């Protein structure tokens, strides 16, 4: 009974009002068209946190909330690297996470792409001089795209995917 009430009371628009999210929709539609064409309707992404403060993860999780709902554009975070096309890396890269990061990368089938998200992946952030940090990530993996921000906002990540698709399309064309 209660479920029914809730179902009818909250339409999608109430949960995620369109106002203010318009740009996400426009970017998302474009993203979906590219993903449909290049990746056969689904772009699978695997995340590795190499030593973040967890704000980056919170924002990447927010991509699944009703305001962004990234999956409707064909982009899905998957459990296994074996299923993934893209590896997203966050964090300053600690010594302890180096091996798990490289192993995850190895297990992604080719062709594979790396996206780095958050300022720590570029510079090591405030932790760059620490004894237990061996990053930044660029020392070990070549990223196609870096998403700036501390942490990058969800919309910035959507834009980054769009840019990523452009690069992939351009390289596929030549």
Partner 1 sequence: MNKIMIDKHDIESDDFANSAENLKTSGKYLLGIVAADERVLNSKFSVRYFFGGTEGIEEYCVKTDESFRSISKICPAAKMYEREIYDLFGLLPEGHPDLRPLMLYPENWDSSVHPLRKDYNGVIPEMKKYGGYKFKEVLGEGIFNVLVGPVHAGIIEPGHFRFSLAGEPVLQLEIRHFWKHRGIEKVCEGKDFKETLDIISKISGDNGVNIAISYLEAAESILNIEITERAKYIRVILAELERMWNYVRDVAWIFMDIGFALPAQNLFGLQEELMRLNKNLSGHRFLFNSLTVGGVNLDLDSAKLKAIEETLKKVENIIKDSEEFILSSSSVLDRLEFTGKINKKTAEELSLCGISARASELPRDTRAEFPYLIYGRLNLKPYILDGGDVFARTALRIKEIYLSKKIISDLSSNLPEGNIAVSFESKPEAYNYAVGNSETSRGNAFFYIMADDKGKIFRLKYIDPSFRIWPSIQYGVLGNIIADFPLINKSLNLSYAGNDM
Query: Which of these ranges, 36-44, 128-136, 139-147, 163-171, lies near partner 1 under the rule CB under 8 A?
Result: 128-136
- The reply to whether 25 sits near partner 1 by the rule CB under 8 A is no
- The reply to whether 3 sits near partner 1 by the rule CB under 8 A is yes
Q: Which of 34, 104, 121, 159 binds partner 1 (CB under 8 A)?
A: 104
Question: What is the smallest separation between the CB atom of 157 and partner 1, expressed in angstroms?
Answer: 11
- The reply to whether 126 sits near partner 1 by the rule CB under 8 A is yes
Q: Which of 132, 148, 171, 172 binds partner 1 (CB under 8 A)?
A: 132
All residues at 6 or more sequence positions from 162 whose CB lies less than 8 Å from its CB, including other chains = 27, 30, 31, 34
According to DSSP, the β-strands at 75-77 and 145-147 are unpaired
Q: How many CA atoms lie within 13 A of 41 on its CB side?
A: 1
Q: Which of 30, 64, 140, 163 binds partner 1 (CB under 8 A)?
A: 64
DSSP structure string for 23-91: HHHHHHHHHHHHHHHHSTT-EEEEEEESS--SHHHHHHHHTTSTTT-GGGGTEEE-S-GGG-SEEEEES
- The reply to whether 7 sits near partner 1 by the rule CB under 8 A is yes
Q: Which of 147, 151, 161, 168 binds partner 1 (CB under 8 A)?
A: 151
- The reply to whether 137 sits near partner 1 by the rule CB under 8 A is no
Token pair 């919170």 is at which residue? Answer: 58
């Amino acid at each position: 009974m209660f479920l029914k009430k809730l179902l009818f009371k909250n339409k999608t628009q109430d949960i995620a009002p369109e106002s203010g999210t318009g740009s996400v929709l426009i970017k998302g539609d474009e993203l979906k068209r590219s993903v449909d064409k290049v990746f056969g309707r689904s772009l699978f992404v695997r995340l590795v946190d190499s030593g973040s403060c967890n704000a980056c993860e919170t924002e990447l999780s927010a991509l699944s909330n009703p305001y962004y709902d990234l999956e409707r554009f064909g982009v899905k975070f998957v459990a296994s690297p074996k299923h993934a096309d893209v590896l997203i890396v966050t964090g300053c890269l600690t010594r302890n996470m180096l091996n798990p990061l490289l192993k995850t990368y190895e297990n992604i089938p080719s062709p594979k792409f790396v996206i780095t998200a958050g300022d720590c992946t570029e510079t090591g952030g405030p932790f760059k001089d620490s004894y237990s940090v061996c990053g930044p990530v660029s020392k070990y993996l070549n990223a196609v795209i870096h998403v700036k921000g501390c942490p990058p906002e969800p919309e910035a990540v959507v834009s980054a995917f769009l840019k990523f698709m452009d690069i992939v399309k351009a390289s596929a064309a030549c």
